[in-house]
Amino acid sequence: MTSALLLLLALPAWSAPAKSELSQDITVKARAAGAVGVQVSPPTASKPVIDEVLRSLSLGRGARAPAAERIRAGGDNARFARPFPEPPFLALSPANIVAVYDEWTFEVLDGEGDILWKSDGVGMLNEKIDWDGGGPDGRLAVVAGRAYRYRFTGRRAGRAFIIDSDPVTLRSFTHREYAGETRLEADTSLLFKEGTADFTKDAGVWIDALTSRMRLGEPRADGNYKLELATKDLRGKLAKARARALTRRVAKSLVTAPERVAVSLMPAMRGEAVSAFLPPSKGASLRVE
């Protein structure tokens, strides 16, 4: 273990190539008492070194395990910084777990620590597990502008270890709706200055990304474009002013008449956000990131 950690600390900083999965901060814990856990700080370690440190753990092998081992597995949220990333938003591969366990639980938590989605099983995890933004009932749970993380717990003979991922903030996202539509949702703060109907400096980047997807999608039956503005005060002057401003700006980006852009005011049941909806595709599915 000592040699693996020395090798880990000696490695120069480097960034792994961007992947479609969330890079995570891995925390492995055991219930048994033992030596004080070793804290491994950045720079980010390479995958072979991480594997070597994980293999040195005695979790689940009947030996005395340390109270906690913290290993930095990397961090690259570039995919989620781009407009409207596709799911999965959180993912874990069994190839990254070396410790032995007989049952497991995978939980998705929001920034408040509330569990939004949960899955569990008996035996070793044998395939990647991921989260597409849905809740336990299959309905949309993810909200643009909020942070999410996962917690994987492995158990064996009364012992347990936990892998906690780094939180990822989804400023925007893409989600397939039950009706076949595609939702493109962005945090309202990306478009509007707080408390006003004025656009932010970077609002054009997000609106243009939104309308580029709308142009590539198939036209709706009525030929119009459908958007929703989720707000706390549906009848307030601010909500109505933002809806008018959004209609004009989206129509300009689409090079179409404002009458063809329908912005509906909706209650902020999940949070304040701007959403556009693409109708179901009649041909091959469209995936753009």
* pLDDT bracket for residue 156 (50, 70, 90): confident
Above 60 in pLDDT, residue 55? no
What mean pLDDT comes out for the span 213-227?
A: 86
How far apart CA 100 and CA 194 sit, in angstroms, is: 50
With cut-offs at 50, 70 and 90, classify the pLDDT of residue 139: confident
Give me the pLDDT at residue 201, please. Answer: 96
The domains located in the chain, with CATH, are 2-170 (2.60.40.4070), 177-278 (3.30.1330.60)
Instruction: Please give the pLDDT value at position 282.
Output: 60
Q: Which candidate, 219, 214, 210, 217, places its Cα nearest to that of 190?
A: 210
Global pTM value: 0.70
Over 90: is that where the pLDDT of 226 sits? yes
pLDDT band at 283 (very low <50, low <70, confident <90, very high): low
Among candidates 12, 2, 16, which has minimal Cα distance to 52? 2
User: 27 falls in which pLDDT band (50, 70, 90)?
Assistant: very low
Q: Angle at which helices 237-254 and 203-216 pack, to 10 degrees?
A: 60
pLDDT at 11: 39
DSSP state of 250: H
Confidence category of residue 205, pLDDT binned at 50, 70, 90: very high
| Confidence tier at 73 by pLDDT (50, 70, 90) | very low
264 and 240 in contact (C-beta within 8 Å)? no
Q: For residue 19, is pLDDT > 70? A: no
Q: Looking at residue 199, what DSSP letter applies? A: B
pLDDT at 288 over 90: no
Decide which of 265 and 17 is more confident.
Answer: 265
User: Which pLDDT score, from 0 to 100, does residue 272 have?
Assistant: 95
Per the DSSP assignment, residues forming a β-bridge with 264 are 228
Statement: residue 107 has pLDDT above 50:
yes
56-60 contacts at long range (C-beta below 8 A, 24 or more positions apart): 56/1, 56/4, 57/28, 57/98, 57/99, 57/161, 59/28, 59/30, 59/99, 59/100, 59/154, 59/156, 59/159, 59/161, 60/99, 60/100, 60/101, 60/154, 60/156, 60/157, 60/159, 60/161
What rounded mean pLDDT belongs to the chain?
Answer: 77
DSSP reduced 3-state for 25: strand
Greatest mean pLDDT among 3-17, 127-141, 183-197 lies in 183-197
pLDDT tens column, 112-128:
999 999 999 999 998 99
